Amino acid sequence: MDATQLLELFKSIVATVQNEPTVDSWNELRVFAEEDLRPNSEFHPPANLVSSVLNLLINKAGKKDGKIKWKMSDESIIALECLYHLLIKVDEFQDAIEAVTTTQLTKLRLGFVILEGDKDSKMVAMQLILFLQENILKFKDLSLYVHKSAKVQKYIDEHRHEANVPEMPRLSSIDRLSVQAEYYDIDVKVVVRGFQSDMKKGLTSTEVANRTAIYGLNVLPQPEPRRWWSMLFEQVKDFMMIILFLAAVASYAIGDPKAGSTLLFVILINVIIGFVQEYKAEKAINALMSMDVQKAKVIRDGNQVAVEASSLVPGDIVVLDEGDQIPADLRLFEVSNLKVIEAVLTGESEPIEKTTKPIRSKNPPVGDRKNMAMMTTTVVGGRGKGIVSTIGVRTEAGKIAESLVKSTQPPTPLQKRLDFLGKVLVVIALALVMMIVGIGFIRDEEVVDLVKLSVSLGVSAIPEGLVAVTTVVMAIGVQRMAKKNGIIRKLSAVETLGSVSVICSDKTGTLTEGKMKATQLWTGNNLFSFEGHPVEGQGLSRVSLNDETVALPDPRLFHLERSLQICALCNNSSYTKDVDKVSYVGDPTEVACMIGAMTGGIVKSKLADDGGDWTFVLEHAFDSTRKRMSVVYEYSEDTNLSVAPSKEKGKAKKGKEKGKEKDDEGTKERKTYVLAKGGCESILSICKHQNLKEKKPLTDKYKAKIEKKAAELAENGLRVLALAYKAVPNKKGGKKLSKKVAEKDLTFIGLIGIIDPERKEVKGAIARCHQAGITVCMITGDHQSTAKAIAIKLNIADKSSKPLRGTDIDVLFNTGTLNSLDPWPTVFARVSPENKLQLVQALQSRGSVVAMTGDGVNDAPAIKSADCGVAMGISGTDITKQVASVVLRDDNFETIANAVEEGRVIYDNIQKFIIYILACNSAEVFSVLGAIAIFGSPIPFTVMQVLWANIVCDIPTAMALGVDPAEKDVMTRPPRDPKESILNLGVGILLLCQSLIMSILCVASLRMGLTLTDIFQDPDTGAPYTTVHAQTLCFVVLCTCQLFHGMNCRSLKLSLIQINPISNLWMVAAIFGSFGLVVGSLYVPGVNTFLQLTPLIGVDWAVIGISLVIFTVLVEIMKAIYRLVSGKDPVYTHYEPEVAEELVSPTPRS
């Protein structure tokens, strides 16, 4: 059989086994694998089929006969035989088995088969084990996947000669490489051998080139770039644009190319405006994401070199140092106090201490794979080395990214409403056309005239300026937001922000500064405060006690000085200072301790690094078990210590005595000290003394006092570290101090409180949101007490509030009760990225419009699902920026509040010009219907005149409405219901009345013009006025009323005399400019001919003036009635940012 026949037969047999798993069907599969299939054949089954069959065989082979203990069933023995023969004959199965973890392989129960099975099953199991051991390095260690491996290995060694196992047939060394996988469950040396790499020399340049051709580049999957033609097509396919295009085609069909060309021109203008603004927004976000190319330090050809992270391949040896972003998923083989923040993947803000030991647990979560370093995470402490095990889409970050690029963004509320409105208008237009055509047929009108009339009605009913004006107004909002550090990725996102009712914000970096800061230091009797920033020069740098500045050195402040020395010296963080930028490297907590020490004038570089009197001896690094860190230093007696830490001086010896050294000025006695910091409970467990004015035993009473103070500081949201030290006799030698000896019988000196302080401007922004009826929720991975303390300070919650933990969210979501919580919590602690998605779904099911912030890769699903996803521009990953609607350049919550306000203003203005455009277009429709159906008059406007009115009058005035200043109550009213129509009943009736008034005046002027044709004559020719004269009069009345109506629409309730005309100079310019164009179209030769208009005489302008006065009076009456029906006159409460402190209310208005 050829390869095609073999594949079809294989598919057929597998289907039979899956549907009817009998002994006969299994035997049929065995015969195929053992006899029909030949080695080195061209049989290449697809990957999905291979994966399915492999899982089927593993699951079946691991099942025993239920009647006899450990005896395999006949089907299980056959499955094991099939697995063996497929592995030795088919490359695709060899590749697939390499991707199987050792945990999955334990399902085969090979150890039990060899020790308890019959002779045949033992032989098959032994052949399979030998095959795996000899050909796949990750399966060489039998203990990883075989029960009682020592006994099994002994049996195999004794019976190896009985088995005939071929080597895996491969053609090249490249083909024998291990597949990409996270090898956390096997020894790292096996991983290195599997990738044919070298821990010391790395890969050669030739090997890298070969592997790049096989594995590709190390890049995360990106959303399909939006091509310019795709953006252009989005504009063209708009429903109203299609209807206008059909109207243009109809105009050409009846021999009216002027109308058809003008319609096409209108379409072109709309498309160009929308395309240009969409293209600019896309370019802005791409510019934000085009950051510096990430570099990675690798060992290649035996040398450490820096390369682009995208060039990494599996098997590369990567070197990690503090501050590095991890460029791929690595299996670590060397670590030295290596700590990695994995918040972008796990949401956990605490650094994870890494190890190199294999992890044997089954399918551990990402956060528990401590021997792996994941792509996009960051090293904050220590150093390490690892071998690249997966790149690009195979990494944990890549898997998330791949699922996101395939999803689509749902339409926003405004898009839905405009789409619905457009369809309604089209239906209305079609209904009117059918009605007029019916009337025309009854009157035996000409078909061409009926088509012209239908096109005129259709163009009148469809607000072709609506799309262009909406696009431009949103684009203006985008530009205004860009100046306020908010990048809007899509124009429609502006409106979505305006309807947001719940903002779910990250704490770190958004509500807070994102920088840990030491704020308080307690030394038993005194509580010191830290102010300012010693490095960046932000404010006055000082340490204060009872609001009075203290300065070091001071003999009375020994406890303060020693505490700050511990903060500076028991610390691995550092900083570099450029002209305008300070960069910190290290664990955020240690950075805070370093800055706190510097605030008090204690700088590590002066004490120890730059020839200071402190000499580093050794370090006992922090680990999660001890929860503390200690260092050993030697120092000279004349260091900055103001008071000797111990009264025990010892007796000096003459000459060169041990513990003394000569210098230019004489003799310095050197002492050895242990300095320690860590969790309060951990430090107290190794302390024996307390140090007030002098060292005393640490009593239970004083220990209780320390614990009470630590709890008090923690309740205020501080992370509390305890500080301790001890003097060590020099005869013991600092270098010989073991961890056990060094961390024993220390002296407690103080507690330091560290916090990520809230941004100063955020409190006012939250108050504005509460005034606007928006619920603000704080989401964090931090502890509950820390989360609650910050939330209380920002007035997100009060003291009675109880934070909801991530584990509680899981339980409530799985039981379907999360969305029914009442009241809804505003503080969520210990939250995972999965919890964020659950919160979004629960809030949306409650009818809320949700804005969700995030920065990590794992936040992307929640951001994607939210009504408005907000990504961080500074700390955010590329994936989150790609899926977000809004990107914050400054990672600041105030920018979100500003965006919400901007969204509300934009929506208000969009609603104003929609009402304006619909009133004007409705007036055109009613005028046509009234003139023809009621009075039997000629068509009041031609298609060209309708288009000219819409372009010259409607669009400029509507655009001026689009930039109308914000009404004073914009952030004091509750959010809109997303289901609420743009036009509610009251507004709809008001709009209808206004359009009817306008149309009545137009029809009346048309009838008057027709009457004037019998009275007046053309002064040049002496001929009587024609119907064109009456149409021109009607046209100018329409245009004048429309232009003046723009000023009316600036407020639905306020009277015209209450509106300050110069507060929107664009409106003034639009009215006078458009009126000038209308007048010009009457008197400029060529233009009036093209538009079928004629100059007017004095009596005509009198009619126009009277019509305008009547229109204004009647509209004012309509507004008065609307105010009376809808409520009292609007009273606006202007919001002033400086009174934000008085607007605190954790519970938003209902």
In residues, how long is the chain? Answer: 1150
Nearest to 849 by CA among 1145, 486, 413, 489: 413
How far, in Å, CA of 873 to CA of 887, rounded? 6
The single-letter DSSP state of residue 1140 is G
Beta bridge partners of 543: 530, 550
Distances (CA, A) of 602 to 519, 560, 561: 16, 11, 8
Q: Report DSSP letters for 186-205, one per residue.
A: S-HHHHHHHTT--TTT-B-H
506 catalytically annotated: yes
CA–CA separation, 109 and 107 (whole Å): 5
Which is catalytic among the residues 238, 329, 506, 878?
506
Q: Tell me the CA distances in angstroms from 1132 to 139, 973, 1059, 1135, one per residue in order.
A: 75, 10, 14, 9
CA distance 549 to 280: 53
| Coil, helix or strand at residue 357 | coil
Q: How far apart are CA 288 and CA 988, in angstroms?
A: 43
Crossing angle of the two packed helices 558-569 and 588-599, in degrees rounded to 10: 140
Q: Tell me the C-alpha distance between 767 and 774, whole Å.
A: 10
Helices (H) and strands (E) in the chain, counts: 40, 29
Whether the upstream peptide bond of residue 974 has omega within 30° of 0, thus cis, is no
For 666, other C-beta atoms within 10 Å of its C-beta total 8
Answer whether 913's CB lies under 8 Å from 958's CB.
Answer: yes
b/e code 361-383 from CB counts within 10 Å (16+ = b): eeebebeebbbbbbbbbbbbbbe
H-assigned helices in 608-699: 680-684
The amino acid sitting at 299 is I
Distance in angstroms between the alpha carbons of the first and the last residue of the chain = 76
Exposed/middle/buried for residue 61 (C-beta within 10 Å: 0-12, 13-18, 19+): buried
Q: What's the CA gap between 576 and 943, in Å, rounded?
A: 70
Give the chain's largest Cα–Cα span.
Answer: 136
Q: What's the CA gap between 984 and 1074, in Å, rounded? A: 30
Q: Would you state the structure tokens that stand for residue 826, as one six-digit string?
A: 């505003």
Q: Which of 453, 325, 337, 425 is nearest to 937 (CA)?
A: 453
Torsion of Cα atoms, 851 then 512 then 481 then 1131, to 10°:
80
Contact (Cβ atoms closer than 8 angstroms) between residue 728 and residue 501: no
Closest CA to 274 of 525, 489, 429, 473: 473
State the Cα–Cα distance between residues 14 and 567, nearest whole angstrom.
67
Q: Which residues are catalytic?
A: 506
